[in-house]
Amino acid sequence: MDAAFLALAGAATALATGVGAVPVFLLGERADRLRPFLWGTAVGLMGVASVVGLLLPALDEDGGATVGAGVLVGALFLLASRHLLAGRDVHVGKLRGAGVRESLLVFGVLLVHSLPEGFAIGTAYASDTEGLALFVILAIGLQNVPEGTSVAIPMASAGFGRAQQFWAAVLTSAPQPVGAVIRTSRSRRSPGSCLSRSRSRLARC
């Protein structure tokens, strides 16, 4: 039942990403004019949610060195991805150009980073800190909304359709339920692990 609950929680956070794409295709051509504002809003929301919902709980659970190493790995991955795609002729179907390249970069980075977010959900669920799991799930769900916006913005400019924008946004968060289940299963098998069965309170023993 723990796995089923975590899979559902991860699926809900993934669908929240699709919600973030909705304002972009509803705005239509106005989305291009509002691009700086939409980017800024997405960055602001993701930044606050990342710090409050992920970084601070991670620092509470473990030392700064481990968290710092994770931040460094993430930054290096982003830089490497940009370097790999720079100047390449990327196309999806008949669509090609800088907009498609930017869409692919945003999609790829968010897809890969969703797996550690799933690990964060699983770790919080297995933690002995009462209420941490609910807090992390809500924080990631909130952060996923502007992530969906950041996926849809370049896709809209590149000519992708509404359905493509929505499902691409959802797909970037698909690894979250997988990561949550994997991490919790590992925690349950670890010595000293004490998952509580009280899902109503999301408490830990």
- Check: CB of residue 35 under 8 Å from CB of residue 23: no
Q: Cβ neighbours of residue 189 under 8 Å, at least 6 residues apart?
A: none
pTM of the model: 0.70
Secondary structure class of 161 (helix, strand, coil)? coil
Residue 188 has pLDDT above 80, yes or no: no
pLDDT recorded at residue 167: 93
Using one digit for the tens of pLDDT, what is the confidence trace for 65-104? Answer: 888 888 888 788 777 777 776 666 666 666 767 778 788 8
Name the β-bridge partners of 91: 96
Query: pLDDT category, 195, cuts 50, 70, 90?
Result: very low
Is residue 123 within 8 Å of residue 137, measured between CB atoms?
no
Cα dihedral sign for 13, 195, 183, 70? positive
| Share above pLDDT 70 across residues of the chain, in percent, rounded to a whole number | 80
> What is the pLDDT confidence band of residue 197, given thresholds at 50, 70 and 90?
very low
Q: What is the C-alpha separation between 163 and 54, in angstroms, rounded?
A: 30
| Residue with more model confidence, 137 or 183 | 137
Residue 18 has pLDDT above 50, yes or no: yes
Other C-beta atoms lying within 10 Å of the C-beta of residue 19: 16
Nearest 5°: the CA angle 103, 75, 41 is 55
What gap in Å lies between CA 167 and CA 14, rounded to an integer?
10
User: Which pLDDT tens digit goes with each residue over 22-76?
Assistant: 888 788 777 777 777 777 877 777 777 777 767 777 777 776 788 888 888 878 8
Q: Distance between CA atoms of 191 and 135, rounded to whole angstroms? A: 25
Question: Would you give the distance in Å from CA 163 to the centre of its chain?
Answer: 19
Mean pLDDT of 16-23: 89
